[in-house]
Structure 1
């Protein structure tokens, strides 16, 4: 059973070698990915991700809340958290799917993973009016009409990814504790730890799920296939500094017995131009549609969170 799960995880990792791309060395960093993956070359294609979400967007009143089926349930079996050397990935198994909110069909949820910076730098992939958050979580969903990922990568809308910004506060977030507890067990590349399933909805900004931005883009790791419908929520969720440090200080891009241990940090791709692509704001999106500064709004968010007036 374990072998089967690891095989599935390797397929969902888009069939790339663990050593053929990186984030921190010139010969294999994001600017060099196009050498091995032509579709990652930023000058050959115009639908790359991530992007900066700014005021140059269009309101779409038909974009309401997505239907997140099974996200509020505690599913049976086990989930598996794995250090792939580029991120930590939580394999979610069956029982969840995403539809509505302007998506062209139903998408089954397969995994989530994280991107982060360092103790001194932020590391979200998307930016909000040039504001970069400490972390970003991606929940990956594959169109249900496709039998496998290979098939989905041939479909311009084969994947739907939910992007969630993660801010860091002095407040502990118990909803992330199952993942936090498992991180020391996957400190090194290739390590895997089982996790008891929990309601995935707990990781989302539950009171603000109708506030998001939508655009057509790509995977943010090789092969950078331009087959993703992105939904990026404008209101972040949060974790504590202690939980954040488990990522930036406790996760390595190298194997346990490697001659040199390298912390996995700043595992995000650089921002790409939209090249005239339409970027849509949902009907309830506020931060980029009312002229207010996202930074000012987020500062207010943190104050309200701290004094207990806001619940995520």
Structure 2
């Protein structure tokens, strides 16, 4: 029995020494990649206390009046962008002219890339969840502080990266502008493949900043090396996608042995005492005492008026 356990330990070490990480859906007993529960053995930061994604419990969020509206710059700009398959997802590169400010952020940030997380065959696939509910897909737009040139430089700053997260919700009608993203994914099926999208605008798939309310917390990258340097913004408004489109997304990229790349999300992590804030006063339970006070005042006024008649 002891020799069997020893052999298992050796095999685990050999797998981890390969240095390759993967999602749970890609892990197999015969594989050599480390699935999410093993990430911290390869990347110690993945075992930190401020990890992402998280489950947002709406009855516990706190209203923060400094969380004002965002200013999106460059979203209307017509872009020619590159897309590349990195093995665990595809990254759509964005130019630094796409910028982010406002929103209670400590600085102006410039865009680096956006990517998607989705489930298996149209099932739950978002990384963050709200009151335990997960959505079929989640979009992340990654930015770094304006003063940095690369993500590597930004990793030395506790607020070096600002990430915007949008949930997708299934609708009856297709999201036609999003078809260009799906088609681009189909042109980069294998790790290392690259392609381009010409005449692309973020404004075609992202709502205007003035229309958005959001949650805010501090966390980490959701892929190794899981650096705890991210100011996360999770938007309450969802993006639409049809079930057919969602099914198409899950078929575009391929993992090893022609297996579709699906289930590409990290499980939710412990909050460990962190506070999640909201930009909407009416969304927070801490705003309710103000309403109660208002009703009491009105009651008193009505009562006093009745005394004078």
Give SS of 2:200's match: coil
Task: Return the offset for 1:122.
Answer: 0.5
- 2:299 counterpart residue number: none
Alpha-carbon distance in 2 for matches of 1:191, 1:289 = 49
* Change in CA separation of 1:152 and 1:218 when aligned onto 2, cut-off 3 Å: same
**Aligned mate of 2:139, from 133, 137, 140:** 137
**Aligned mate of 1:101, from 100, 103, 106:** 103
> Which deviates further from its counterpart, 22-31 or 54-63?
22-31
Task: Return the offset for 1:167.
Answer: 1.3
Q: Does 1:264 align with 2:270?
A: no
- 1:307 counterpart residue number: none
Give SS of 1:267's match: coil
**Aligned mate of 1:64, from 60, 65, 68:** 68
CA deviation vs aligned residue, 1:257-307 (integer Å, no higher than 9, x gap) = xxx22211111111111111111000367498899xxxxxxxxxxxxxxxx
1:219-238 equivalent positions in 2, closer than 5 A = 219-238=221-240
Alpha-carbon distance in 1 for matches of 2:214, 2:252 = 31
Alpha-carbon distance in 2 for matches of 1:236, 1:288 = 22
Task: Return the offset for 1:249.
Answer: 2.1
Is the contact between residue 117 and residue 135 of structure 1 (CA under 8 Å) also seen in structure 2? yes
CA deviation vs aligned residue, 1:53-92 (integer Å, no higher than 9, x gap) = 11211101221211111112213xx211122121121011
Aligned residue-pair number: 265
- 1:35 counterpart residue number: 41
Give SS of 1:178's match: helix
Q: Calculate the aligned-residue CA RMSD, in Å.
A: 2.3
- 1:23 counterpart residue number: 23
Alpha-carbon distance in 1 for matches of 2:118, 2:38 = 20
Give SS of 2:265's match: coil
* Change in CA separation of 1:68 and 1:182 when aligned onto 2, cut-off 3 Å: same
**Aligned mate of 2:198, from 196, 199, 204:** 196
* Change in CA separation of 1:202 and 1:239 when aligned onto 2, cut-off 3 Å: same
Task: Return the offset for 1:208.
Answer: 6.9
Task: Return the offset for 1:128.
Answer: 0.8
More helix by share: 2
TM-score, normalised by the number of residues in structure 2 = 0.80
- 2:55 counterpart residue number: 52
**Aligned mate of 1:274, from 255, 271, 276:** 271
Give SS of 2:40's match: helix
Is the contact between residue 34 and residue 40 of structure 1 (CA under 8 Å) also seen in structure 2? yes
Alpha-carbon distance in 2 for matches of 1:32, 1:208 = 41
Is the contact between residue 135 and residue 165 of structure 1 (CA under 8 Å) also seen in structure 2? yes
Give SS of 1:186's match: coil
Give SS of 1:175's match: helix
Is the contact between residue 210 and residue 285 of structure 1 (CA under 8 Å) also seen in structure 2? no
Is the contact between residue 210 and residue 283 of structure 1 (CA under 8 Å) also seen in structure 2? no
Alpha-carbon distance in 2 for matches of 1:261, 1:288 = 49
